[in-house]
Amino acid sequence: MTDNIGQAPSENAEKDTSQWVTGEEPMTGPQRSYLQTLAQEAGTEVDDDLTKAQASELIDSLQQQTGRGA
């Protein structure tokens, strides 16, 4: 019998962006860069003053539009 104590779960639980501790901070550089790529593909523009949480939600939306999402 194998003991699984101490192993990480196989899936990452996603936390609602409204519960993020740092969700109100400005979006990160990587978020901004990826959003610019997605927005260009989707034919839309992105505000420069998004929060981390807003950027994450917009990334999810644009990934669906562009087919880049998992």
- Tell me the per-residue pLDDT of 39-48, one tens digit each, with 9 for 90 and over: 999 999 999 9
- The verdict on pTM exceeding 0.75 is no
Annotate the chain with DSSP letters as a single string.
----TTPPPSSPPPPPGGG-TTTTSBPPHHHHHHHHHHHHHHT----TT-BHHHHHHHHHHHHHHHT---
Residue 68 has pLDDT above 90, yes or no: no
pLDDT digits (tens, 9 = 90+) for 5-61: 555 444 445 667 767 777 789 999 999 999 999 999 999 999 999 999 999 999 999
Domain boundaries, the chain: 24-66
